[in-house]
Amino acid sequence: MRIPCILYSDDFLGHDLPGHVESRERLLAIMERLRPMSGRLEFSEPPPAGISDLEAVHQPWYVKSILGHGRGRLDMDTYMSEGSAAAAMRAAGAAIEAVDLALSGRSLSAGMVRPPGHHALPAQAMGFCLFNNAAIAAMHALKKAKKVLIVDWDVHHGNGTELVFYGRPDVLYFSVHQYPHFPGTGAADDTGTGEGEGYNVNVPLPAGSGDGDYVDAFQRILLPIVGSYRPELVIVSAGYDTHHADPLGDMRMTAAGFGELASLLKSACSANVVLLLEGGYNIEHLPSCVEASLLGFMGEDYGRISGERTAAAAERIHEAAAIQKKYWRL
Ligand SMILES: [Zn+2]
């Protein structure tokens, strides 16, 4: 079967702090939307990650401390409950399983996971994230693939993911995000270091950017880079807090906008796609955003985007492109 596979486990609901914005209700709402799509989607429960998978990205002492940690706050934003360690291991396992499916020919595999991952550093939990699912997925993929692309359209910059691959050319990290904003990283001139120079691509956008601006960032910067980098696998850090109604972001994307980004990426690149849920906190709109992005990757109708472009975003995209021209033909 080559229909898209959704990787989900009830373990993801065990990470829970009542009243916290990164809630189990987010995932319940998404799954309520996706379950009726059975026939067009396949559903599978992934196994937990192994310790060595986690240690490919995280310090062994940190892995041990998270897995042995009970209920409590790790910082102002990031919590653990009784079920968090199991949820985090299963989320990383979903990321790995999705990679295996992709590398064995599945065109789209989506981990509907919690907790999210892209802020998690090698030895520090941060921004609701415990283990960096996308980074763990990419490290696993490198056992078979030589070039992996991570596309991060969450409203926040994926500082953890950037850090893990900052010195490596075999994982190209592309992020488009609100800037300045949490976590403070993601400047356009952070382009990588050593052998990794030119393989870290940040497109910081001002608050108020919408579908048209994101499309512009993809068309002017990401798609030409993808065309010459030619990754064997694409991992999407799919955050939906870029939506106009999200409480943690100030962007103006619509649900259809995520479909458009997915469609553009798919049309530019023949590599199979692993989509991993990151942020997205408006529970009313989150399910339609997720659905639209899946439909975009599946080549199906996801609705009409708002094509409006803003002058402030155009200027930032121009600046980011000017920086990347040192490394890529844009
Ligand atoms: Zn986010």
The predicted structure's pLDDT at residue 306 = 85
154 CA to centre of ligand 1 in angstroms: 5
Model confidence at 290, pLDDT cuts 50, 70, 90, reads very high
144 CA to centre of ligand 1 in angstroms: 29
The predicted structure's pLDDT at residue 146 = 98
Mean pLDDT of the chain: 97
238 CA to centre of ligand 1 in angstroms: 9
| Tens-place pLDDT, residues 190-217 | 999 999 999 999 999 999 999 999 999 9
Amino acid letter, residue 191:
T
| Tens-place pLDDT, residues 109-144 | 999 999 999 999 999 999 999 999 999 999 999 999
Say yes or no to pLDDT of 300 above 50: yes
Look at strands 148-152 and 72-73 and give their pairing. Answer: unpaired
DSSP letters spanning 49-95? PPHHHHHTTS-HHHHHHHHT--SEESSSS-EE-TTHHHHHHHHHHHH
Say yes or no to pLDDT of 1 above 70: no
- Residue ranges of domains in the chain: 5-324
The first and second tokens of residue 269, run together, are 């690149």
Q: Which strands make up the sheet holding 171-178, listed edge to edge?
A: 42-44, 5-7, 108-111, 272-277, 233-238, 148-152, 171-178, 200-205
DSSP E strand stretches across the chain: 5-7, 42-44, 72-73, 79-80, 108-111, 148-152, 171-178, 200-205, 233-238, 272-277
Q: What is the mean pLDDT of residues 258-266?
A: 98
Model confidence at 326, pLDDT cuts 50, 70, 90, reads very high
DSSP state of 13: G
The predicted structure's pLDDT at residue 325 = 98
| Tens-place pLDDT, residues 229-251 | 999 999 999 999 999 999 999 99
Whole-angstrom distance, CA of residue 59 vs CA of residue 81: 22
Q: Ion ligand 1 — residues with CB under 5 Å?
A: 154, 156, 239, 241, 279
26 CA to centre of ligand 1 in angstroms: 13
The first and second tokens of residue 198, run together, are 């030119």
The residues that are catalytic are 119
Q: How many residues does the chain have?
A: 330
245 CA to centre of ligand 1 in angstroms: 13
Whole-angstrom distance, CA of residue 60 vs CA of residue 65: 9
| Tens-place pLDDT, residues 17-33 | 999 999 999 999 999 99
| Tens-place pLDDT, residues 42-61 | 999 999 999 999 999 999 99
39 CA to centre of ligand 1 in angstroms: 31
1 CA to centre of ligand 1 in angstroms: 33
| Tens-place pLDDT, residues 138-155 | 999 999 999 999 999 999
- Specify the pTM: 0.98
Say yes or no to pLDDT of 169 above 50: yes
Model confidence at 90, pLDDT cuts 50, 70, 90, reads very high
Say yes or no to pLDDT of 320 above 90: yes
The predicted structure's pLDDT at residue 2 = 79
The predicted structure's pLDDT at residue 60 = 98
CATH superfamily assigned to domain 5-324: Histone deacetylase domain (3.40.800.20)
